[in-house]
């Protein structure tokens, strides 16, 4: 068992205090009080951190804020961080528990890219990682927490006004419960599962035709506690990064003949959300307030 490291704990407490209040500066007394340190300990700690550039001590008011060296440290951390590295084990457990196809998705530009996947029962013909156009309803579990400009750009790519209205109706519930539910249609399955053989859904013309048809279908479930009118094809939940942004989306997808029964949709959604929350914790992420 590792020994306690009081010095490390105190440094982390100071950094977290300043990180949680990036627009404020704190005096020595305020840091000591908020971090529950005596003033001598706080003074020694702040002096060392300021000397190393981790903190700045402003010359006029003698107050402390985060320092410039953290910019380089943060960039190094960002380059070495990948939530997808932690996903395979979580997906394997999720696939085993649900007997569904579990995948991790990442929003990249105007596409949703599968970066990891697992299936308790392998698909008949293993597929390469999927790449879906980020067009409503695709990506709702990620876009529900997007900033207004990103969300508007996503909605603007919708193939119909009906798709925009249906998506806007579903987004508040997705934020509130923490997962999205998508109903199945033959076009949706062709796009998301990639199992059509002739013609293949990765053909651009076929994909455009599929998206136009899907845009006219109300596939996002507003309230999963109401029995869905059609079989549920996919349940997805976001994984959050340190800044509260969506780093990944975890999803479980059913195949033809193994649709999720209506009575089990909420339970499945909670299971997927719990798996995503566990991955959020593993990468030291932060779930934002549903209202933001």
Q: What is the pLDDT of residue 291?
A: 53
Q: Tell me the C-alpha distance between 57 and 27, whole Å.
A: 9
Q: Which of 99-113, 136-150, 209-223 has the lowest mean pLDDT?
A: 209-223
Q: Tell me the C-alpha distance between 31 and 209, whole Å.
A: 60
**Averaged pLDDT score across all residues of the chain:** 82
Instruction: Name the residue with higher pLDDT: 83 or 42.
Output: 42
DSSP 148-184: HHHHHHHHHT-SSHHHHHHHHHHHHHHHHHS-EEEE-
* Secondary-structure class of domain 6-78 per CATH: mainly alpha
Question: Which residues, at least 6 apart from 228, have a Cβ–Cβ distance to it below 8 Å?
Answer: 181, 183, 221, 262, 265
Write the CA distances from 21 to 80, 259, 283, integer angstroms: 25, 47, 22
| 206 pLDDT higher than 60 | yes
Tokens for 228, please give them: 């869905």
pLDDT (tens digit per residue) in 60-80? 888 999 988 887 777 666 655
Q: What is the pLDDT of residue 73?
A: 77
Q: Tell me the C-alpha distance between 196 and 202, whole Å.
A: 9
Phi-psi region of 4 (alpha: psi -120 to 50; beta: other; left: phi over 0): beta
Q: What is the pLDDT of residue 198?
A: 41
**Phi, psi dihedral angles at 261 (to 5 degrees):** -65, 150
Q: Are 162 and 142 in contact (CB under 8 A)?
A: no
Q: Tell me the C-alpha distance between 222 and 169, whole Å.
A: 7
pLDDT (tens digit per residue) in 140-186? 999 999 989 999 999 988 877 888 888 899 999 999 999 999 887 77
Write the CA distances from 54 to 32, 44, 68, 209, 261, integer angstroms: 17, 14, 7, 54, 54
Quote the pTM value: 0.71
Q: What is the pLDDT of residue 124?
A: 46
pLDDT (tens digit per residue) in 40-50? 999 999 999 99
Q: Tell me the C-alpha distance between 205 and 139, whole Å.
A: 21
> In the chain, where are the structural domains located?
6-78, 81-282
What b/e sequence results for 218-253 when a residue is b if at least 16 CB atoms lie within 10 Å of its CB, and e otherwise? bbbbeebeeebeebbbbbbbbbbbbeebbbbbbbbb
Homologous superfamily, domain 81-282: GAF domain (3.30.450.40)
Q: Tell me the C-alpha distance between 112 and 156, whole Å.
A: 16
Q: Tell me the C-alpha distance between 178 and 290, whole Å.
A: 8
């Amino acid at each position: 068992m590792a020994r306690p490291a009081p010095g490390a704990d105190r440094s982390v407490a100071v950094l977290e205090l300043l990180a949680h209040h990036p627009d404020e500066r704190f005096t020595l007394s305020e840091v000591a009080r908020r971090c529950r340190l005596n003033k001598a300990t706080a003074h020694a700690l702040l002096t060392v951190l300021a000397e190393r550039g981790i903190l700045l001590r402003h010359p006029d008011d003698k107050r402390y804020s985060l320092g410039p060296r953290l910019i380089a440290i943060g960039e190094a951390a960002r380059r070495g961080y990948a939530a997808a590295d932690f996903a395979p084990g979580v997906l394997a457990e999720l696939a085993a528990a649900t007997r569904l196809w579990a995948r991790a998705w990442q929003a990249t530009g105007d596409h949703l890219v599968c970066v990891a996947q697992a299936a308790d029962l392998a698909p008949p013909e293993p597929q390469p990682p999927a790449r879906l156009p980020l067009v409503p309803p695709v990506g709702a579990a990620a876009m529900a927490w997007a900033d207004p400009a990103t969300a508007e750009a996503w909605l603007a790519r919708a193939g119909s006004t009906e798709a925009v209205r249906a998506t806007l109706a579903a987004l508040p519930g997705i934020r509130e419960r923490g997962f999205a539910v998508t109903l199945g249609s033959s076009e949706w399955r062709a796009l998301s599962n990639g199992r059509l053989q002739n013609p293949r859904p990765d053909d651009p013309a076929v994909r455009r035709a599929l998206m136009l048809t899907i845009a006219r279908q109300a596939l996002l479930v507003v309230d999963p506690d109401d029995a869905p009118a059609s079989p549920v094809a996919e349940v997805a939940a976001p994984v959050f990064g340190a800044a509260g942004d969506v780093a990944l989306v975890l999803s479980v997808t059913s195949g033809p003949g193994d649709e999720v029964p209506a009575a089990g949709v909420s339970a499945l959604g909670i299971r997927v959300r719990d798996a995503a929350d566990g991955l959020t914790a593993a990468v030291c992420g932060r779930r934002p307030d549903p209202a933001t």
